[in-house]
Amino acid sequence: MAQNTAAVSPLLRQAKGRLGQLFYQVGESAEYAAIRFGRGVRESGRFAARLLGLLLRPIGASIVRALREAAEDLTAPVRRLRSGFAHIRQAMAAERQNGAGAMLAAAGRYLVSGVRAYGYLGKNLLYYLLPLGAGAVFVLTVFVTLNQNFALAVNCNGNLIGYVSQESVYEDAARMVEGQIIYTGSEEKWNLEPSFTITTASQQQMSDSQTLVNEILTNSGAEITQATGLYVDDQFYGATTDEEALQQAIDAIKAPYAEQYPDAEIQFVQNVQLRSGLYLNESIKPYSDLEALFTQPVEGQRTYVVQDGDTPWSIALSNNITVDELYALNPELDNGNYMVVGMQLVISQSVSFLQVQAVRTEVAQETIPYQTITTEDDELSYGKTKVTQEGVDGVQEVTYQVTYIDGQEASRVQVGDPVVISEPVDELISEGTFVSTEGMNRTPSSGGMIFPIGPGFTYQSRGFYGAYSHNGLDLCAAHGTPIYAAQSGTVVYASATAGGYGIHVEIDHGGGVHTLYGHCSALAVSYGQYVTQGQVIAYVGSTGNSTGNHCHFEVIVNGSRVNPAPYIGFYG
């Protein structure tokens, strides 16, 4: 020990000298740099150090002693072990001349005696090592635990569907699934109750929301299905898993009309939608059920049989359609010029489940009716006319937006202004005003009758359109203008009715021929009276179903209304 101390002392003295020199230089520089402030701080520090030393000296001494004892306990086994190995080598060297066995025996004896003498040092070391080992085990356990990836295992319907870090990941997935489900009525909402257990899982095993969505759908096949729903005017008719076939069936309905109207916009009258998504299984229908809807009508064709006294206007009104619609459905009516009792008319066509609408632009050449200009001619007999210039219709091109529904024209709307190709030429007519001294021209026509209206006649507002449409001539004149018997005969009616003809006269001329004079303002004859041709029988008015002053004149042959114009030689 003395040799070691002697060897170390010069080194320590040398180190102290160098450290002292270094501290001296630093201190001198610091004092020089802040001499005034430094002195105060130094003195304060010294005072604080002395005070702290007085306070901590008892504690420090105990700590120092404890540290020294701990160091002694920790190093003593090492020192003793080194010393023991040195003595074992000496004992073995002393027995070398006695052979290897003696050397080993001497070493063993010394080792046993050493263990007996200094075994307590191992116990002391163990007292220090056990807490350190326990601390190391604790640190290792914490380290391993913190590096474990804990997760929640999600189970649905008894099946593991994935691992998540927290329940909100599953809740996001459930909301995504719920957002894809299409509810069609009063069915109960789909609900999947999960269960969660804490476990460990690798990062590769963790599921995101979209992965969970796929797993939820896979494990929910008995409740919800990916399908396509058919909606017509927002009404749900069913869902099918065969979306392609459903789309093809719908396209097939429109295909014939696209071929018929190649330049038209083809679409359904109804709002038809195919919505893909998740449907509850109770909403799924066989595809054949949906396909059957396309071939069945929702309303059949309606017809009407013409009765005695019907007119196109009364038929249209009673069946809640317009006269134009009636004419469009029944071209044989010839716009009201032909209609007989017993004729069967179409009131509405059969309506299919899905009606196809075709909208196209059409350009039509139409006539521009010529105007008729009438001038009075006092050299021409009253009631006679003469055409002095023939009228010629003009021609114009009119553009329409035409809508067809299931192949039938439904509407025609003019687009823009017509383009005139040729202007019309007015028709000029001279109208006779010559009146005899008896007040009218009494010359019978080829039909044997005279014109029934005296001076004051202005024009014909409506002609004969057929026995069941308009069955006479409407001859306009001022209120009170005389009405004359077109031919001699017996008055068989001279009175008023509620509506209809109003005040009117009917004369029997014999041979099954009658004449009727309607809407009179007053009568000049009575029932049963015999009148002669040209005799005043009544006066022009607007009674009954009338909208202006005129005489409704009819010729009746054997009970049937016929066109009066040839009988009086008038074609106004």
Range of lowest pLDDT (141-150, 234-243, 285-294): 141-150
Provide the 10 A C-beta neighbour count for residue 82. Answer: 10
Check residue 543 and give its pLDDT. 92
Predicted TM-score (pTM) of this structure: 0.43
Report pLDDT digits (tens) over 227-238: 898 988 888 888
Read off the amino acid at residue 18: R
**CATH says 302-427 is which class?**
mainly beta
- 304 pLDDT exceeds 60? yes
Position 563 pLDDT exceeds 50? yes
Q: Is 157 exposed, middle or buried (0-12, 13-18, 19+ CB in 10 A)?
A: middle
Looking at mean pLDDT, say which of 3-12, 98-107, 247-256, 384-393 comes out highest: 247-256
The mean of the pLDDT values for the chain is 78
221 has a pLDDT exceeding 60: no
pLDDT tens readout for residues 257-292? 999 999 999 999 889 999 888 888 888 888 888 888
Task: Label residue 102 by pLDDT band (50, 70, 90).
Answer: confident
- The most confident of the ranges 266-270, 337-341, 432-436 is 266-270
pLDDT for residue 7 is more than 90: no
The answer on pLDDT for 86 being more than 90 is no
Report how far Cα 214 is from the mean position of its chain's Cα atoms.
27
By DSSP bridging, strand 530-531 and strand 150-156 are unpaired
Please determine, for residue 361, whether its predicted confidence score (pLDDT) is greater than 80: yes
What pLDDT sits at residue 430? 84
Mean pLDDT of 348-363: 87
Q: Is the pLDDT of residue 89 over 80?
A: no
Nearest CA-CA partner of 258 in 350, 356, 355: 356
Domain ranges for the chain, please list them: 1-33, 34-145, 151-222, 228-299, 302-427, 445-568
Q: What is the pLDDT of residue 265?
A: 93
pLDDT of residue 112: 73
What pLDDT sits at residue 381?
64
Which DSSP string corresponds to 18-50?
HHHHHHHHHHHHHHHHTHHHHHHHHHHHHHHHH
Give pLDDT tens digits for 118-130. Answer: 666 666 666 666 7
pLDDT at residue number 380: 73
Query: Which of 15-24, 76-85, 88-97, 318-327 is predicted with the least confidence, judged by mean pLDDT?
Result: 15-24
Task: Tell me if residue 268 falls in helix, strand or coil.
Answer: strand
What's the CATH architecture for 445-568? Distorted Sandwich (2.70)
**How many alpha carbons lie under 13 Å from residue 492 in its C-beta half-sphere?**
12
Mention every residue, 6+ apart, whose C-beta is less than 8 A from residue 109.
91
Percent of the chain with pLDDT over 90: 24
Among the residue ranges 15-29, 500-514, 541-555, the one predicted with the least confidence is: 15-29
Q: Does the pLDDT of residue 26 top 70, yes or no?
A: no
The average pLDDT across 517-538 equals 93
pLDDT of 367 higher than 70: yes
Please indicate whether residue 481 or residue 409 has the higher confidence score (pLDDT). Answer: 481
Closest by CA to 388, choosing from 451, 435, 431, is 431
> Higher confidence at residue 489 or residue 439?
489
Report the distance separating Cα 507 and Cα 487, nearest Å.
Answer: 9
Q: Are 424 and 371 in contact (CB under 8 A)?
A: yes
What percent of the chain stands above pLDDT 70?
Answer: 70
> Facing residues of 403 across strands?
359, 411
- Give 242's Cβ-side CA count (13 Å radius): 12
Q: Which residue would you say has higher pLDDT here, 506 or 52?
A: 506
- The token pair at 149 is 């990836």
- Least confident interval from 157-171, 269-283, 544-558: 157-171
DSSP symbols for 55-83: HHHHHHHHHHHHHHHHHHHHHHHHHHHHH
| Lowest-confidence pick of 200-209, 237-246, 340-349, 421-430 | 200-209
For residues 189 and 182, give the distance between their C-alpha atoms in angstroms, rounded to a whole number: 10
Q: Identify the pLDDT of residue 279.
A: 83
| pLDDT (average), residues 9-35 | 52
Closest by Cα among 223, 226, 225, 219 to 162:
219
Mean pLDDT score, 526-537: 93
- The pLDDT score that the predictor gives to residue 20 is 47
Predicted confidence at residue 36, as pLDDT, reads: 57
